[in-house]
Amino acid sequence: MMQRKTRNPEQTRNDLLDAAYNEILESGFQAASLERILANTSVSKGALYHHFGTKRDLGLAVINEVIGPQLEERWFTMLAQHDNPISGLYNLIAEKISHADESVIRYGCPLNNLIQEMSPLDESFRQGLQKIIERWTEVIARALKEGQSAGQVRPDTNPEDIALYIVASIEGCVGLGKNAQSIDAYQRCLRQLQVYIQSLAV
């Protein structure tokens, strides 16, 4: 007698989140198709609604459980590994420049995409996205403050203001490159941000 295959609930949830993230990245949240998400996971509609009561719940989970942790891994953890915030920020941006490819220009930044699309429409989306922005700026500001204490960052600068400007610049560079469909424009914009970051050094 054949054994019925059972799915691990945690793996099912993660598969749905990964598929939803990719679908939202390609199509935006409002145009995202639950049917395509299900087709890409082989998960039943019943299982989807067991984990996420609505499409909106799924979208909010993507923000909190996929996009937020992505930034944590790609920015926050990596910045903490550098003793000098100036070289740390410079090198992180250098990595973005060297790894720039067509996917960045085609899809843009998932965080910024959702900010533009959903923040004016849904307060829960706006709050979830704002929480990530605040966390990002907080991490950079803290690193810059520590750099000031270590004599690495100019004392006449405001870490919170600089952190906000750096985050806005990064997101702006991605949006500019996406709209221009130009990797070169994206990279040039980031290089100017590197120049600014270097100017913060003592």
Residue 105, amino acid: I
Tokens of 152: 């690495």
DSSP output for 91-157: HHHHHHHHT--HHHHHH--HHHHHHHHHTTT-HHHHHHHHHHHHHHHHHHHHHHHHHHHTT-B-TTS
Q: Provide the 3-class DSSP secondary structure of residue 89.
A: helix
Q: How far is CA 174 from CA 4, 95, 136, in A?
A: 47, 14, 16
- Kindly tell me the sign of the dihedral angle through the C-alpha atoms of 46, 65, 67, 134: positive
Measured between alpha carbons, how far apart are the two ends of the chain, in Å?
74
Encode the chain (202 residues) as per-residue pLDDT tens digits: 434 445 688 888 999 999 999 999 999 999 999 999 999 998 888 989 899 999 999 999 999 999 999 999 988 888 888 999 999 999 999 999 999 999 989 999 999 999 999 999 999 999 999 999 999 999 999 999 999 999 999 999 999 999 999 999 999 999 999 999 999 999 999 999 999 999 999 9
